[in-house]
Amino acid sequence: MLDNFEKEKLDFLRKKDKSNKGYIDKGAIKIVKEINSKDGYYTTSSCSGRIVLLEKLSNKKNESKWIFIKHNKVNFGEIFDFLKNKKFRYPIWFKQEPIILHVRCKNLDSAKK
């Protein structure tokens, strides 16, 4: 018989992916599968890391427009070509973000491990 955590895990992992892309980033699949195969753990969201250009519409975090995103290596020429001949009203920020994993743990002991 499944305990409450195992039932929640099973239900969560059966759901449709709600991310904008609708699937797990290629670079995160291996670690997500590894975590989800373990008793007492499952991932609720992930990102393999990304390079982003944001048009900062204000100083508020949620008021930015994502104008370029890539989940693997980029080179300067790729970004230069993207920006070339475009005009923006607001500053453009370059961000590099590492892998992000949100993991649900069965209990505090599991989380400590």
The domain segmentation of the chain, as residue ranges, is 1-49+99-113, 50-97
Give, in order, the Cα–Cα distances in Å from 97 to each of 47, 49, 71: 9, 5, 9
pLDDT-based confidence at residue 1 (cuts at 50, 70, 90) = low
Separation of alpha carbons 113 and 108, rounded Å: 9
**Length in residues, the chain:** 113
Condensed to tens digits (0 to 9), the pLDDT of residues 60-90 reads 878 889 999 998 889 999 999 999 989 999 9
The three-state secondary structure class of 19 is coil
Residues 6+ apart with CB under 8 A from 54: 64, 65, 66, 67, 92, 93, 95
Q: Residue 71 in contact with residue 49, Cβ under 8 Å?
A: yes
**19 compared with 88, residue with greater pLDDT:** 88
Average pLDDT, the chain: 91
